[in-house]
Amino acid sequence: MMTMTSTAPIARAQSAPLIGGGLTALPKVNMGANLAQNPGFETLGPTGWTAGSGWSQDQLTKRSGTFSYRRDTGAATSSQNIQLKAGTYTVSGWVKTQSLGGNNTGVRLTFDQRPGGVFSWTPSDLITGTNDWTQITLGPIVIAADQAVAIMLENYNNPSGTAWFDDIVVQQMQAAAADVFMLYPNFRGMLFDDQPQTLQFDVNVTPPGGDFARYSIQATIKDEASGQVIAQQSTAAAAHVVATVDGAAMQAGRGYLATVSLVDLSSNSSVYDYPAYRVSKVPAAARSTMNVSVDAKNRVLLKGVPRFILGVYDAGLGYSSDPTFWENTLWSATGDRRMGGMNINMYLNYWYGQAPVDAMTALMANLQQHGVTYLQTGNCFDKYPADGGFLINSSDAYVQQLAALPGLAGFYTADECLAGLQPGVFAQSLRLRQLAPATVTFSALLGNPDLTLWRDTVDILSTDPYPMYGAEPSGGYALTQVADWTSRARDAVKNARPYMTVEQFFQFTSLGRFPTQTEMRNMAYMAIVEGTHGLFWWSLGDNALLAVCSGWCDQKTGYMNNLKSVVNEIAALEPVLLADDAAGALTTNSNTAIKTKVKVVGGKGYVFAYNSTNTSQNATFGWNTAPGTVTVNAEGRTLAASGNNFTDTFGPSAAHVYVIGNGGGGGTPPPTPDNPTAAFTVPAPNATVSAVATVTVAASGGSGSGYSYTLKVDGTTVPGTGPTYSWDTKTIANGAHTLTATVTDSAGKSGSATLAVSVSNTTPPPATNPTVTFTAPTANATVTGATTVTLAATGGNGLG
């Protein structure tokens, strides 16, 4: 079942300012029942909790009820196993301590997923010393699949002293009746007028009582200022729905609210409304003036030009308003950073959160001379929220001044933050979107299941897998963590927003080492195969490259040359990376452990491939035609083809890029698009119109973009460019007439629709000649000298 309605659009605005839209509020959260057994330790034993020497139920010291659970010196960890459903949870409890621990010993409240086979646990901060009853809260924590977990009253390094626990609570955040994620438009709610005009929403439905048949999902677009509904579409409820609504009637320069609701069919009333997304229509030409935007293919655009983002982190430098300082510091062959010759297009220095506008202006002007944009910082980290010390958080004027600079890409707002900080980052994002609509917010998060909580909080969701931690295992580092975390980011945004990967360029602990050039290539191409839209490397600065040695020793120079080599190799492939995938061009792959991404560009084929295991693998690839010369990019070797096939060997976690001389037909060609469809949304069929009537035409289908419009009345063209026309009906006779609308898409295909209307304009009475009379002087009067003569006019058309 599907129903659609639309009404007349609001009059066109005189200008089209950018509106930084997106989700306007976080959904309200309802908590489920406490899932902990014996949470207040009231049942003797205590039931549900492991016991042992040093643990006891205490009647004298308790927060509520009859007992608390007391831990004395020497007691091990007490825990309770719980079977949880997939979902999002919080854990809390109350703790009191007396002379407890010290020197990295104490107790913690810990949510442990290891009993369910997931190598992950979430501990509280270490609790030590003497403290009155204090509530400890963990979460939100996302469980990706049903599993067993343990709630641990954890002994950490055998502290001496006493701790009391009470009122443990484990709760699931209840699923919303309609949990919504806007798939498209995919950047701040901006619907560019040369791209598809249908809004799309991913909806997971949990209806009251589980009765799907009783409900529908309704998507509505309202003018934000007037509340007028301009489009609405309903579809039957199911566990998972992609809801759509036509945004063609939206007008540039106006804000609209797009809402998805669960509607009770028996009363035709909404029982749940997900918070609205703010959306707007934007002229395609605006992209060339926007520092950053995103196209319908999730490609990041810099001043309207699609780019594969290549960036570096930095820290540990001073700043200046002198342009020469930046040229010497960042780019000179004898400077501090020596970035000259490295083809990046984005730079992030997370030490500059308090840098003044004049210094940032000079920095960005210099970066622009090298084709580079900048992300200013104001980020949370771990458990610490971003505060007013960051100028982007304390000054609207500062944000607006930076946003006016052509070199600003946006703002770095989240760095490995705990999920509990997400609401604060969302509020920050709302403000930054409004102040600087043509920028992005960028994050680098851990690849945990809670990534899904951030998808409407930042514009670019990134993960930072750093697999080379500590001493190298005998089988080598698990570099495929890069692929895993990149794919988790893709899944979190349902492959409907740009996502990126931050790569390791540092030694992680004293037992680790820097990645080799080969390892850097392997990790970069893993992320590319998993669809990343950009790569950053952490870092040129503090605790990374800067810390290798004082000055520029051979070792540091070698690491920097490795980075430049990898960056420039990928930059040279940018036209390929930006092209559409051509999966059908690769007809076979003999080894499922070898993951691939395929492109066909300029008559050549490109196969990006990596080994998803830590053992050597062979793979034979089948191409859609005789491949001709097969070159392994940047490795100085070629492969001999046998018929349409070629074979290669992959070391553990290795990646290769194959350049195929004969791209062929690209495999199965894409289906030929249908002709576009035209439809009248205003006026209604057989309507009676008069004076200047509004006529609106909606386009859909075909290529999905680049629509142009013509409107004719009985074969005569109506002036205007559509999709909304102001038709002067007084130019034709009263009576029945036929409107014909024709829509042409970017592929040159057309579709038409007709509409019968009646014109009824009142004919004015025939005009008569005016009558003129003298009001002064009177008839037959005698006058002398200068005399006033006054005339009066009546009749005629009464005008002029």
CA end-to-end span of the chain, whole Å? 60
pLDDT at 713: 95
pLDDT at position 1 over 80: no
Q: CB of 142 within 8 A of CB of 492?
A: no
Residue with tokens 């006529």: 695
pLDDT at 701: 55
Q: CB of 30 within 8 A of CB of 173?
A: yes
pLDDT digits (tens, 9 = 90+) for 433-485: 999 999 999 999 999 999 999 999 999 999 999 999 999 999 999 999 999 99
pLDDT at 737: 95
Residues sharing a CB contact under 8 Å with residue 219, sequence separation 6 or more, in sequence order: 199, 201, 232, 233, 234, 243, 244, 245, 258, 259, 260
pLDDT at 709: 81
Burial (CB count <10 Å: 0-12, 13-18, 19+), residue 214: middle
Instruction: Average the pLDDT over each of 291-295, 470-474, 669-673 and give the range with the smallest value.
Output: 669-673
Burial (CB count <10 Å: 0-12, 13-18, 19+), residue 7: middle
Q: CB of 646 within 8 A of CB of 661?
A: no
Q: Where does the pLDDT of residue 747 fall: very low under 50, low under 70, confident under 90, or very high at 90 and above? A: low
Instruction: Average the pLDDT over each of 283-287, 341-345, 439-443, 751-755 and give the range with the smallest value.
Output: 751-755
Average pLDDT of the residues in 553-557? 98
Q: Where does the pLDDT of residue 6 fall: very low under 50, low under 70, confident under 90, or very high at 90 and above? A: very low
The length of the chain is 800
Q: Where does the pLDDT of residue 670 fall: very low under 50, low under 70, confident under 90, or very high at 90 and above? A: very low
Instruction: Average the pLDDT over each of 199-203, 288-292, 431-435, 780-784 and give the range with the smallest value.
Output: 780-784
pLDDT at 700: 60
pLDDT at position 769 over 90: no
Q: CB of 155 within 8 A of CB of 108?
A: no
Q: Structural domains in the chain?
A: 2-29+176-281 (2.60.40.1930), 55-173 (2.60.120.260), 290-577 (3.20.20.80), 579-660 (2.60.40.1180), 676-759 (2.60.40.10)
Q: Where does the pLDDT of residue 781 fall: very low under 50, low under 70, confident under 90, or very high at 90 and above? A: confident
Percentage of the chain lying above the pLDDT 70 cut: 94
The torsion angle over the Cα atoms of residues 759, 765, 766 and 772, rounded to 10 degrees, is -140
Instruction: Average the pLDDT over each of 24-38, 227-241, 444-458, 770-784 and give the range with the smallest value.
Output: 770-784
Burial (CB count <10 Å: 0-12, 13-18, 19+), residue 787: exposed
pLDDT digits (tens, 9 = 90+) for 7-23: 433 333 335 799 999 99
Q: What is the mean pLDDT of the chain?
A: 93
pLDDT at position 123 over 70: yes
pLDDT at 195: 97
Neighbours of 660 (CB within 10 A): 28
pLDDT at 773: 78
pLDDT at 770: 77
Q: Residue 337, by phi and psi: left (phi above 0), alpha (psi -120 to 50) or beta?
A: alpha
pTM, full prediction:
0.82
pLDDT digits (tens, 9 = 90+) for 315-365: 999 999 999 999 999 999 999 999 999 999 999 999 999 999 999 999 999
pLDDT at position 79 over 80: yes
pLDDT at position 785 over 80: no
pLDDT at 653: 98
Gap between the Cα atoms of 510 and 623, Å rounded: 46
pLDDT at 800: 52
Q: Where does the pLDDT of residue 768 fall: very low under 50, low under 70, confident under 90, or very high at 90 and above? A: low
pLDDT at position 307 over 60: yes
pLDDT at 4: 43
Average pLDDT of the residues in 688-708? 70
Neighbours of 206 (CB within 10 A): 16
Q: Where does the pLDDT of residue 792 fall: very low under 50, low under 70, confident under 90, or very high at 90 and above? A: confident
Average pLDDT of the residues in 748-775? 81
Helix (H, G, I), strand (E, B) or coil at 561: helix
